[in-house]
């Protein structure tokens, strides 16, 4: 098993960062030929997913998230903590904080138009996000 932590600085809610190249470098470093990579972001107001990293799809994705958890909805979390990021927690829970991608012949088995992305959802401030990549599998024989 091979594991590495990466740090990313975000600017705020709705930022989508393509981290495919960084994850691919970690997979290459691991020397795993056949297996899987788990990509996990720490924190409950960010998410990891795959998407076609294209401006139109990203705008559509952010718009869909705003319909899922609207800015104007009443969130119990906001009433309890007063930090105004109830919607951020809901969005993160719906997307998820990790994905697992197969490793085939030493590379992530993503499709041509499929990139691994970090999604910043917190409304309060820029963040330093930690992404933990764990690669498991067999090395080339």
Question: Which pLDDT tens digit goes with each residue over 65-109?
Answer: 999 999 889 999 978 877 888 999 999 999 999 999 999 999 999
Pair of tokens at residue 86: 């109830």
Report yes or no: 104 and 55 within 8 Å, Cβ to Cβ. no
Report yes or no: 17 and 131 within 8 Å, Cβ to Cβ. no
Q: Where are the alpha helices (DSSP H) in 1-102?
A: 20-30, 55-68, 76-81, 86-95
Pair of tokens at residue 124: 């309060």
Q: Which domain holds residue 119?
A: 2-139
CATH number of the CATH domain containing 94: 2.60.120.460
Question: Looking at residue 97, what DSSP letter applies?
Answer: S
Please tell me the total count of domains within the chain: 1
Question: Which pLDDT tens digit goes with each residue over 51-62?
Answer: 999 999 999 999
pLDDT reported for residue 80: 80
pLDDT reported for residue 141: 76
Report yes or no: 15 and 141 within 8 Å, Cβ to Cβ. no
Question: Looking at residue 52, what DSSP letter applies?
Answer: -
Kindly give the interhelix angle for 55-68 and 86-95, rounded to the nearest 10 degrees. Answer: 120
């Amino acid at each position: 098993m091979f594991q590495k932590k990466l740090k990313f600085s975000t600017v705020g809610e709705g930022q989508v960062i393509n981290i495919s190249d960084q994850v691919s470098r970690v997979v290459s470093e691991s020397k795993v030929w056949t297996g899987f990579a788990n990509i996990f972001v720490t924190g409950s107001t960010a998410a990891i997913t795959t998407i076609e990293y294209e401006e139109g799809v990203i705008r559509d994705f952010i718009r869909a998230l705003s319909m899922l958890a609207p800015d104007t909805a009443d969130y119990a979390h906001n009433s309890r903590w007063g930090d105004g990021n109830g919607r951020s927690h809901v969005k993160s829970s719906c997307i998820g904080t990790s994905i697992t991608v197969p490793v085939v012949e030493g590379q992530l088995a993503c499709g041509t138009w499929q990139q691994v992305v970090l999604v910043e959802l917190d409304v309060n401030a820029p963040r330093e996000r930690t992404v933990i990549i764990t690669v498991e599998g067999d090395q080339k024989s």
